Amino acid sequence: MVKQFLRNILHPDTYHALSRMKNGVVSGYVNHQLMTRRKKGGRFISVRIDTVTACNHRCQYCYTLDLTGHRTQLMSLDDFKKAAENVFPYAHTVALSCSWEPTMNKNLADFIRVAASHGVPFLHFVSNGSHLTDDTISAMVECGLDRMAVSIDAATPEMYQKIREVDDLEKVLGNLRKLKDLKDAHGVTKPTVNINWTAFEENADQAPKFAREHGDLFDTFWFWHLLPRMRNSVNPFHRMSRDRYYAVVSELKEILGDRLTSTEFNEDRSNKPLGTCNRSLDNLRIDPDGSIEVTCSRHSLEGNVLTDDFADIYVRNEDLFEMLYRKQTDFCQNECDR
């Protein structure tokens, strides 16, 4: 809440300067705490696991469109159980998605149930919401999934199809209604539903329209500007000016109040070094074959979660983690505040 308050009242340049100062002071302390937890066998990592590498949408700004020769992989439930046993006891956060659409796994409901049985403090996933089955929705509610973030970036079917090449908006809204009705019937608030809105010139004005018309279907709203990065630089959409972006943010604040929990203009912040960074422990991505990489870097870890306990994997890669923490590799150089 404090971070969002400061983001709201300070000029972005001032906010990011303070953020870098904060990281310089806090990063070492955080790393010490994480390493203390590790040595005590506690939870010290955040994990994102893709149980399937496929998507039913073709968002025109998505970097996966450039993955030529991509081969779809699917993790079996038995393999997922092995991965969960080897990794989840060390994780304070687990996302059942990273780069792909988790509901393309037709057995996602069973994966949710297995993940929930490990008592991970925060369990969530990101989805486009179009393939949510009744069984998946039931598992989400019954297991107390903490959050589902839904990627929506249009308020009209026409814009939705222009962005994603599929006409699924009404289907997604119907699934969110089913989830809301089931939560109400059970008298629960979980999973919270967050809207992930990727903003650009062509769709920005539709965000307030969506918030007004469908505000009862979600709990929180993220309004993030399209990232200026090489992997999605070729797309049919255009970045806004800072003033234009924050004008829409102001309109959203009037509608949503404190439910607008995150706004990111996302200026080009590449190649601006940060002193030290704990993101490597917060960005572990697991593929269906059990291999692990540090998201936002080119580094794959030695070991496989289908056969190795993560405590052993960490020891094998301890030097690499230390280099990533000290920013001595080609790890992401963004001056982010996470």
40 domain-assigned = yes
Tell the burial category of 64 from Cβ atoms under 10 Å away from its Cβ (0-12, 13-18, 19+): middle
Shortest CA distance to 190 belongs to which of 221, 145, 149? 145
> What is the chain's Cα-based Rg?
20
33 domain-assigned = yes
Token duo for residue 235 = 């797309």
User: In this predicted structure, what is the pLDDT of residue 60?
Assistant: 87
Residue 214 scores a pLDDT above 70? yes
Residue 19 scores a pLDDT above 80? no
Lowest-pLDDT range, 192-196, 206-210, 276-280, 328-332? 328-332
Name the amino acid, one letter, at 315: V
What digits encode the pLDDT tens for the residues 84-116? 999 999 999 999 999 899 999 999 999 999 999
330 domain-assigned = no
**Torsion angle, CA of 147/105/54/238, rounded to 10 degrees?**
-30
293 domain-assigned = yes
336 domain-assigned = no
Taking the C-alpha atoms of residue 333 and residue 216, their distance in angstroms, rounded to an integer, is 38
User: In this predicted structure, what is the pLDDT of residue 17?
Assistant: 72
Helices (H), 165-238: 169-186, 206-214
332 domain-assigned = no
Residue 171 sits in a domain of what CATH number? 3.20.20.70
Give mean pLDDT, residues 219-228.
Answer: 90
Paired sense of beta strands 122-127 and 147-151, if any? parallel
Helix (H) or strand (E) holding 15: helix 12-39
Q: For residue 76, which phi and psi values (nearest 5 degrees)?
A: -75, 160
Shortest CA distance to 123 belongs to which of 190, 215, 57, 44? 190
Instruction: Give the 3-state secondary structure of residue 48.
Output: strand
Lowest-pLDDT range, 92-96, 218-222, 264-268, 316-320? 264-268
- Under the banding of pLDDT at 50, 70 and 90, the label for residue 275 is low
337 domain-assigned = no
CB 160 within 8 A of CB 169: yes
Residue 82 scores a pLDDT above 90? yes
User: In this predicted structure, what is the pLDDT of residue 282?
Assistant: 83
Looking at the 3D structure of the chain, how many domains does it have? Answer: 1
Residue 259 scores a pLDDT above 70? yes
Tell the burial category of 283 from Cβ atoms under 10 Å away from its Cβ (0-12, 13-18, 19+): buried
Sign of the dihedral through C-alpha 185, 186, 188, 190: negative
Shortest CA distance to 191 belongs to which of 124, 261, 104, 258? 124
What is the extent of the structural domain holding 110?
2-325
333 domain-assigned = no
User: In this predicted structure, what is the pLDDT of residue 338?
Assistant: 42
- Under the banding of pLDDT at 50, 70 and 90, the label for residue 3 is low
